[in-house]
Amino acid sequence: MVCKNLAPLNLCVFALNFLKMNKERKLIIAGNWKMNKTVAEALALVDDLKRDLSKVKEVDIVVCPPFTALELVSKAILETKNIRLGAQNMSENNFGAFTGEICAGMLKEFSVRYVILGHSERRQYQKEPDALIAKKALAAHAATLKPIVCVGETLAEREANETEKVLETQVRGSLAGLTKEQMVETILAYEPVWAIGTGKTATTQQAQDAHAFIRKLLAQIFDETTARKVRIQYGGSVKPGNAKELMSQPDVDGALVGGASLESRSFADIIKNSI
């Protein structure tokens, strides 16, 4: 970008800083398959994604299948350069007597790079508190996994004008103990609970306002430099039709996609429409 005398100096500086800020926050779009897809179905979906997204380099693409499909999906995307593997949860503990749990070391065996933590469904059904999510995030970093930490308010909380209060509590609690360096390698996902799987989507302004508030909190907790580097995804009924407008917001750095990630064409179109 060349700034000529036609533009005031302060405008040129702002434009250059804006471009620099956005360049260092590459879009990241992750598909959370939840408790869906047998191993055979997972492999079929990944094969389609490899074909449909082979030329996409502008977005970090992550697929998060159920635990049962991690091994073979990992092998299926081994040769790809633009699709990475994520898990949907992990224990805060290492190997040991924790029946039914999966630890970071087990995920690393399958070349998992990312792990979703604190998803609203786990907060609701498994009653996971912020303090537990923070422990999981620290355990993920100890294993060089990148956590995707989810936060978001319910419909009742939004209608009671408690969105910012809820977000502040969750952000501070779920990130407790992280260093600045670890925070930069952490992805946050703002997922308004009232928009998950309901067909309802936050307006672009609602999404941007929430993301901007979260980034302001990060600046308070860490510092502005760290806050500018952290990627914040939007999650909540993201579709091909609304992806472009959502991703165009200055503080929206990607998407955590649920139902639309279960079909290759819709997930690929979300990604392509976001560029």
Please list the active-site residues: 119, 191
For residue 259, give the DSSP letter: G
Residue 233 phi, psi (nearest 5): -90, 160
How far apart CA 89 and CA 69 sit, in angstroms, is 14
Tell how many helices (H) and how many strands (E) occur in the chain: 13, 8
> Scanning the structure block, which residue is given the tokens 């100096």?
9
- In whole angstroms, how large is the CA radius of gyration of the chain? 19
For residue 143, give the DSSP letter: T
Q: Which residues contact 5 (CB under 8 A, 6 or more apart)?
A: none
> Scanning the structure block, which residue is given the tokens 């009742």?
156
